[in-house]
Structure 1
Amino acid sequence: MKRIALTGLTLAAILAAGAAGYWAGHRGVPLPGLRTWLGAEGTSAASEPAGAGPVIYYRDPDGKPLYSEQPRATADGRPFSAVRASEDLSFDEPPAPSAQTAEAKAERKLLHYRNPMGLPDTSPVPKKDSMGMDYLPVYAGDGADGNVIKLSPGRIQRSGVRSEPVSRQIITRPIRVPGAVQLDERRVAVVATRSDAFIQEVAPVTTGDRVAKGDRLVRLYSPEIAVAGAQFLTDLNAAARGAPEGGARQRLENLGVPAEIVAEIERSRKVPITINWSAPRDGIVLERNVVEGMRAAAGDTLFRLADISTIWVNADVPESELAAVRIGAPVTVRLRGRPEAAFQGKVGLIYPQVAEATRTTKVRVELANPDGMLLPNMYADVEIGSGDGVPALTVPDSAVIDTGTRRIVILDRGEGRFEPREVKLGQHGDGRVAISDGVADGDRVVVSANFLIDAESNLKAALSGLNPPEVKP
């Protein structure tokens, strides 16, 4: 009879699934109970041929660590080998240790015996558990692998363990925040007089109309401008007789009289009773505060104009995200009323203050608006690109286990060996996270079922902590 070599973890899985119910339906093995089947001495009561039981997975015919749940073939057309339940559970008797291996173990110091089921139970002397299985010896140096966890190919397949190589990429993470369209403060103009005046006539423009630079807005009469014009005409006549010119020209300029009006007085030698006041720039009329016949005091706003060919979008960025925003970062703006239209721009200014009520900071984006689609006070959805544009070592977000105090990844060392590694995280974005310390180029990290391996590592660490410092067999 071949003795059955069962690891503690494998036997635990069989017990959890119900050993009697599992084996009763395979190959007609009588199962009054697992202990009856094993026998009092732990021997097999049934002679089951190798490779019996259902197919649980398929493995590469060359022994490479490649597995599949379904039948498949290699690149050159050779089929994967089917692995049945008995083969995965290692029902063959383990090979006899060589003389060299036995001598090496004899030279090592025997520390203690551990429970074959993986339970936190050790013994200084050989013993059996409640099922009659021998406790396993633990020698000095068995923990040379440190935190490395070893799993069988079958368990890796059933657990869904999957790993990916660490890659060097540029991390970009869009910051999505609300924003509002605002006027470019540098493109707003006010039409006003610098002296008292009476409005003789108003051009047929209203709020919202577009005007061009030089278009007539109002015709007005100003006594102060008329007096300055008459003095300017006197200075011109005196200068024609050889007398020095006075300061009337400068006074007209100080009163804001357009240069073309001054040139007309100088040409015609006449002072107009009323003068035309024109638009100082292209734009739309934001305000019209003037009507015919009214008296306007010096400094009163007659019209308010704005050039909207270039517009601002002020985005409210939370204080926690502010560190990821930089001047010149790319920005995409979408209007909530027209989500299909996207405007591209860059961060032009980060305002040097945080709003106390909302804990946000305004970030200014300057956009071209040739079609006039962007209107002041419109709501917008702003997407700001973040990142420094430098490639960094990155892993998928699913590879990182965040315990709150530590960040861990599971390194795949190959041949079923896994090692937990504490890492330092960097920028997040695009479903990946940069690793500033803890991994290197060429490493592979587990991205699926890594919590199961981490739990296995914690169990191993707990068992190691139960080992007495000095145990004599």
Structure 2
Amino acid sequence: MQRMLLAALAFGLVLAYSAFAGSGMGFKALDPSVPFNTTRTIRVQLVDGSGKPVAETVAGASVRVDMSPDAMADMTADAKIVKSETSGVVTVQTNLYAPGRWAVILKGTVNGKPVTGSVVVTATRKSAEAASPPPATAAGKSRKILYYRNPMGLADTSPVPKKDAMGMAYVPVYADEVQKVRGAVRLTTEKIQRAGVRTTPVTRASLASSIRATGIVAADESRQAILSARFTGFVEKLYVSQTGDVVRAGQPLMRVWVESPELLVKEADYIGSLQSGAADHAAVAANLLRQYGVAQSELNAMAKSGVPTRSVTFVAPAGGTVMEKPVVQGMHFATGDTLFKTTDLSRVWVLADVSERDLASVRVGQTATVSFRNEPSASFEGKVLFVYPQLDSATRTAKVRIAVANKDGRLRLGQYADVRIAAPAAAMAALTIPASAVIDDGTRQIAFVAKGNGVFEPRTLKLGARGGNTVEVLSGLKEGEQVVTTGNFLIDAESNLQTALQTFGNGK
């Protein structure tokens, strides 16, 4: 029996003072309770197996602070050793950021022997939210407490003060904090400051919107040209032999050998008409040869020599960059074959994908600013030429054609672009608020109005056009009211919690 009592006593000492086998020493908290969310020092005393202080220095001390030794060892707080004294006192600096029980775990050596132990410190509330006697009102009367709510936001209330499993006190809900408007909340000054709440007035202003879209650079279809064969023959010589070359209108591209008997007959008819003096017929024949691609210089040469030519030079139908050149020297070609394709890239199109909801604001002739991700500091001005009549059923966007000058050739076909189209401002000033004041949950849009004395009231909004960081309010707010622009998501969470608790409480 005596042995059992001794064993129980030893076990109790282990729990109380965290003494560990091997060194026979542990630690005891000199500051068992400190305010939460404040950087503080916690003094811990080295003790022997019986709990008496030991006046020895803990060398090489290290510390770890965990949230609730019972259930949340993964939640830690920053901590460091400030001082280790010869009296055996170790001073730890930390910030216990939440109320409840915290484990301060220490390691070190005393006279070369390892010492490890932990002490439990309780972080308490020292704010208006603590479960303390109701503060007096201005008239000197105590505020009425309706119920106490769970400090961790769970849907659990109590008619009397109590603590949760972590030792955290339930928070009182006062009668003057329950607002008549459903979802309205009253916050303490401390809570408002901690949430960083900022407000701004509802104002009337002209709303000039900027429509944003992504796009891609494409060739201007009106500046493309194709040289195709109008008779059969062979390529004798290429004057422009590679794609990417820039050519001017009328520049020789290639010389071909005429295989087509039909073209030779027409050349003979042209020469015969000249020799017979049939000027009108000769003019018709010359015009027909031009349609086949015979240049005026070659017509003059045939008129002078009186002999049909079997060598014809093709020239560029328009200036631009050679985009396609399927021909090679010596190749045979047939009627209708594409020989060259050129595109004038001094002006290009940007095909922007504009959202369906923004299409009503896009007009032909509006100014657009185009920028590119490989050169974000540069921007190009353009004009809206055309709004395509069909929507993409998958993306719910429509193409908008924008003409952009590209004289220096910096823009390349297929390049991605960021587009901003300047939509006209509204004719009349609209009621506006910052876009940051709106909380959109997908089914409704709300904003919180500051009513004074820490009261915030939710308002359901009907929104109109957007202009940059500003949004038009069609209903739900009045000019001059103060809306919350920062910290509103925290207020919304508190509002939802209050609503749930009121519903839960009424259900009881």
Q: TM-score range by the shorter chain?
A: 0.5 to 0.7
Question: What is the 5 A alignment of 1:230-249?
Answer: 230-239=268-277, 247-249=284-286
C-alpha distance in structure 1 between counterparts of 2:439 and 2:185, whole Å:
16
Q: Name the SS for the 2:436 alignment partner.
A: helix
Whether the 8 Å CA contact 2:187–2:454 is kept in 1: the answer is yes
Counterpart-to-counterpart distance in 2, 1:204 and 1:461: 79
Identity %: 34
Deviation at 1:413, TM superposition (A): 3.9
Identify the residue that residue 339 of structure 2 maps to in structure 1.
302
Counterpart pick for 1:364 among 366, 384, 401: 401
- In structure 1, the partner of 2:419 is 383
| Contact 1:171–1:392 (8 Å) recurs in 2 | no
Q: Determine if the alignment matches structure 1 residue 420 to structure 2 residue 420.
A: no
Counterpart for residue 441 of structure 1: 479
TM-score, normalized by length of structure 1? 0.58
Report the Cα distance in structure 1 between the residues aligned to 2:324 and 2:251, rounded to whole angstroms.
16
d(CA) in 1 for partners of 2:345 and 2:250? 17
Please tell me whether residue 163 in structure 1 is matched to residue 208 in structure 2: no
Is contact 1:326–1:386 with CA below 8 Å preserved after alignment? no
Superposed CA deviations along residues 343-375 of structure 1, whole A, max 9, x for unmatched, are 332443444445567776544333222122223
Aligned pair partner of 2:146 in 118, 125, 128: 118
- State the alpha-carbon separation in 2 of the partners of residues 155 and 320 from structure 1: 39
Query: 1:20-52, CA deviations, whole angstroms, 9 ceiling, x for partnerless residues?
Result: 988xxxxxxxxxxxxxxxxxxxxxxxxxxxxxx
2:218 maps to 1:182 = yes
Equivalent in the alignment of 2:100: none
SS of the residue corresponding to residue 335 of structure 2 reads coil
SS in 2 for 1:248: helix
Letter of the structure 1 residue corresponding to residue 313 of structure 2: N
| Deviation, structure 1 residue 405 | 3.5
Distance in 2, matches of 1:155 and 1:163, equals 15
Q: Could you report, residue by residue, the CA deviation over 1:188-236 in whole angstroms, capped at 9, with x for unpaired residues?
A: 2222331223433332532222211111122234343332232123323
In 1, distance between residues paired with 2:140 and 2:301? 116
Contact map agreement 1:333 1:380 (CA 8 A) in 2: no
CA distance in 2, matches of 1:215, 1:372: 21
Q: Distance in 2 between matches of 1:271 and 1:389?
A: 71
**Contact 1:318/1:359 (CA < 8 Å) preserved in 2?**
yes
Query: What is aligned with 1:278?
Result: 315
Q: What corresponds to 2:252 in structure 1? A: 216
Q: Contact 1:398/1:447 (CA < 8 Å) preserved in 2?
A: yes
Q: Which amino acid aligns with 1:401?
A: I
Alignment of 1:69-468 (within 5 A): 91=136, 94=139, 116-119=144-147, 160-167=196-203, 168=205, 170=207, 172=209, 175-177=212-214, 179-222=215-258, 223-239=261-277, 247-262=284-299, 268=304, 270-271=306-307, 273=309, 274-316=311-353, 327=364, 328=366, 330-334=368-372, 336=374, 338-354=375-391, 361-377=398-414, 379-385=415-421, 388-390=424-426, 392-414=430-452, 418-428=456-466, 430-450=468-488, 455=494, 459=498
State the shift of 1:429 in Å: 5.8
Shift in Å at residue 165 of structure 1?
0.8
Contact 2:201/2:482, CA 8 A, preserved across alignment = yes
Per-residue deviation at 1:438?
1.5
* Change beyond 3 A, Cα 1:162–1:137: closer
Inter-partner Cα distance in structure 2 for 1:301 and 1:92: 92
> Could you say what the CA RMSD is over the residues aligned between the two structures, in angstroms?
4.6
Q: Distance in 2 between matches of 1:251 and 1:298?
A: 16
Compared CA separation, residues 329 and 227, structure 1 to 2 (3 A): same
Provide the secondary structure at the position in 1 that maps to 2:382. strand
Inter-partner Cα distance in structure 2 for 1:305 and 1:451: 57
1:117 offset after TM fit, Å? 0.9
SS at the partner of 1:411? strand
Work out the CA distance in 2 between the residues paired with 1:145 and 1:192. 77
Letter paired with 2:336: G
**Structure 1 Cα separation of the partners of residues 361 and 399 of structure 2:** 14
* Alignment-mate amino acid for residue 220 of structure 1: V
- SS of corresponding position for 2:267: helix
Higher strand share: 2
1:423 Cα deviation from its structure 2 partner: 0.8
Q: Contact 1:335–1:341 (CA<8 Å) still a contact in 2? A: no
Distance 2:469 2:199 in 1: 16
The Cα shift of 1:164 comes to: 0.5
SS in 2 for 1:118: strand
1:186 match: secondary structure: helix
Q: Which moved more, 1:384-393 or 1:228-237?
A: 384-393
Amino acid at match of 2:271: L
Partners of 1:211 and 1:279 within 8 A in 2: yes
| Cα distance in 2 between the residues matched to 1:208 and 1:452 | 59
Deviations 1:34-74 (A, max 9, x none): xxxxxxxxxxxxxxxxxxxxxxxxxxxxxxxxxxxxxxxxx
In 2, Cα distance between the equivalents of 1:92 and 1:318? 55
Whose relative contact order is higher, 1 or 2, with alpha carbons under 8 Å and at least 6 apart? 1
TM-score (norm 2): 0.55
In the alignment of these two chains, the number of paired residues is 349
Which blocks of at least 5 consecutive residues in structure 2 are unaligned? 1-32, 36-126, 129-133, 150-158, 162-173
Amino acid at match of 2:343: A
- Aligned partners of 2:354, 2:183: CA distance in 1, in Å? 43
Describe the SS at the equivalent of 1:423. strand
Counterpart Cα distance in 2 of 1:145 and 1:314? 50
SS class of match (2:236): strand
* Deviation readout 1:431-453 (Å, 9 max, x if unpaired): 44332221232222122444565
8 Å contact kept, 1:162–1:447: yes
Change in 2 beyond 3 A, CA 1:118/1:176: farther
For residues 260 and 199 of structure 1, what CA distance do their matches in structure 2 show?
Answer: 19
- Alpha carbons 1:181, 1:313 under 8 Å: kept: yes
Residues 171 and 433, structure 1, Cα contact 8 Å, conserved in 2:
no
The 3 A distance-change label for structure 1 pair 287 and 91 is closer
